[in-house]
Structure 1
């Protein structure tokens, strides 16, 4: 199972939110490039980056910070979500060195674009399913839909996407553990690799996800910044 250290960007800084509320942002660093370099030095295999401002604006809003992360990451691949809603934006990020884009809002509103992008860029397009109470939320989690996360995942199963990033919004940033059961159920329901996001607060949480035998990866942010999870130790344990 791959551990993805997370870098969430707001106003050019590294922050963490509580359950997706922008007003609850805690700043953990003003230098995203340095933060990426620190994660890379610890031995991470991937980086997970979210342009939070972009998610609300519907277009990239932290391009300079993302560029600094890409430079610092070097050969370590970066997956990026937030405000990526057109083919032009997808192409632009991939051309700049992003290894994989995560499409969330547009997957609900324009599913055809997801299929088009996945066909055009094999292995480089993931779908982000952000759910509250099992229902998908969009536009920076500000809008809730009636879409069931499992049903939506199954609709994209044959689209050629590289992964599904599943976030339990109620767990995100809360340090109360991931929703292992829901993530495992989703991973069992589809053939696409599922990456868990939200609530990972300890090595025990990672082990619980790994031991499902179904979850392909896990994203952790606040636990790494708070020191509740040591990245080097976690990576070694998962290996």
Structure 2
């Protein structure tokens, strides 16, 4: 890896329009007053950085559940999957990954399988780190069925400043673990509902990398992991 590639990452096409708008505004700000122009330039760089889409190396052993988002694990708790997915009324272990405005916001599939449901629901825009965001915020939900018949739900949740959830997959499509399926603008959260009886291998406060960090192992009987902050 070169020094240049460490700092300059590919940008997802979804961000081109926004970076263009920020850049045009920056030119106008420079014409008005130089200090404003430098502020605009900083915001333009941030906008590019927000829409970065770096390549990821995804573990592909059967049974691994991979993080769908960059960020920090904010909640691990039992919860009923979104009703619109039709996965039943039983509570499953939910792992929530909170993304702040500096995280990469491209979302990736946690497992390989077939998308059996995609459901969008409008809602509010509470802080995505709060528990009530799962129920009350705008969201887009996916159900992915694996080869063994087990299902995993992935839910994109809009946050306090997020106003747009983008999903590129559709019902009936096959998807690979680590494959890009969507994006959220600007600050948000992604929930993963694990199959019944599966414990997560991550802890609250742990940093996650989309497409790389292992959340759970369906082939393991290891119990939920605990951690401490140093």
TM-score normalised according to structure 2 size: 0.27
Structure showing greater Rg:
2
Whose RCO is larger (CA < 8 A, sep 6+)? 2
Structure with greater proportional helix content = 1
